[in-house]
Amino acid sequence: MMNAFIQERDLFPASLPFHSGRLQRDLHDLYFEECGTQTGRPVLFLHGGPGAGIAPSHRRLFNPDRFRCVLFDQRGCGQSRPFASIESNTTDLLIGDIEALRQHLGIDKFILFGGSWGSTLALAYAIAYPEHVDGLILRGIFLGTGDEVSWFLHEMGRFFPEAYAQFVAHIPEDERADLLNAYYQRLTSSNPAIYQPAADRWASYETSCSTLRAGSRHMSGTAALSMARIEAHYFRHNCFMPDAHILSNIDRIKHLSAHIIQGRHDVICPPFTAAKLASAWGKNAQLQLIDEAGHSTFESGIAHALLAALDAI
C-alpha cells in the first residue's frame, strides 16, 4: 500500500512570494521570502534538518488571505550562501538570525511554525525571545537531546532494517563503532568523490524512514549534501545546546499557546518526546496524535491537522 499524502486540491493554491530578499549575517547571506498578504497575521515557517531548506510547497500550507508568512533558508541551506557551510553555524546563531530577520521586516510578533528540527529551533527561539512569539504550531517534535540523536543513528533500524543496513554498509566495519564520526569525516571532506556518496546514503536513510510505510522517494545531490553535512555537524556538537535545554526552560514559554501535531508512527522523532513536551507545557499545549502517519509534513493526516491548527490559532 502506498503512503497517503495530502491531495493537491486540499492545499492552498501555488503562489509566488510578494517579497523576497537577502540578509547578510557575518559570513552567511540568508535568503528569505514572504507570501500571503502584507497585512496578514505574521507567521514564521522554520524548516527541518537541520539543513533541509524551504520549498514552494511549504507556502501552500498558509491561507494567503489571513497570513503574512515568512520563510527563510537557514545557514548553509537552499538559496542561502555559502551553500552547505558549517562554519559559523550553531543554534545560537540561527536564533540570532531569526531575531535579525524579525527586526529587518518590522514584525513585532510571529506565530512560529516548525517541524522536526524546525520544532527545535522554534522552541529555542521562543525561550530566548518569548515576547516576540504569538503562539506555536509544532510537528514531529525533536528536542535536540543526545538520546534522540542516538535513536536516529542506531535505533530507527529496528523499524526500517533495510534502510539501516544500507546506511551502515557505507562505513567500513572497523569504523562502525562510531557511525556519527565516520560519516562526519566523510561529509566534511573536500573531495566530492568522498562527501557526495556519504551524503546520498545519509539522506536516503532518513527519507526512507520518514513516512508510515517505507518510502521510495530519496533525496540526492546538493539537497542531500546540505542536509547530511549540517545534520552531522549539529549532531556531533549536541545540537549546540545543553542536553535538557528546552524542557529546563519550559517555564519561559508556558504562557504561550502551542498546537503539537505528531505522527503516532513517527520513527525519526518518536511520539514519546511530543507527549513529554506537552505534559511539561501544561494547559496551553494541545497534543494531537495522528494515527496513520509517520514523520512527513505532507502525509495526509498530519497536513490536515496543520491546516486545522492554522485555522484555529
If residue 215 lies in a helix (H) or strand (E), which one and from where to where? none
| Catalytic machinery residues | 116, 266, 295
CB-count burial class (<10 Å; 0-12, 13-18, 19+) for 77 = buried
Element (H, E) at 67: strand 67-72
Cβ atoms of residues 121 and 95 within 8 Å: yes
CB 42 within 8 A of CB 107: yes
State the burial class of residue 29 (Cβ atoms within 10 Å of its Cβ: 0-12, 13-18, 19+). middle
In terms of Cα–Cα distance, which of 42, 30, 36 is closest to 78? 30
Q: How far is CA 277 from CA 92, 107, 120, 130, 258, in A?
A: 21, 28, 11, 17, 10
Helix (H) or strand (E) holding 117: helix 117-128
Instruction: Name the region of 113 (left: φ>0; alpha: ψ -120 to 50; beta: rest).
Output: beta
Give the number of other CB atoms < 10 A from CB of residue 236. Answer: 16
Calculate Rg over the CA atoms of the chain.
18
Count CB-CB contacts under 10 A for residue 146: 12
Grid cell of 11 as nine digits: 492545499
Residue 2 in grid coordinates: 502506498
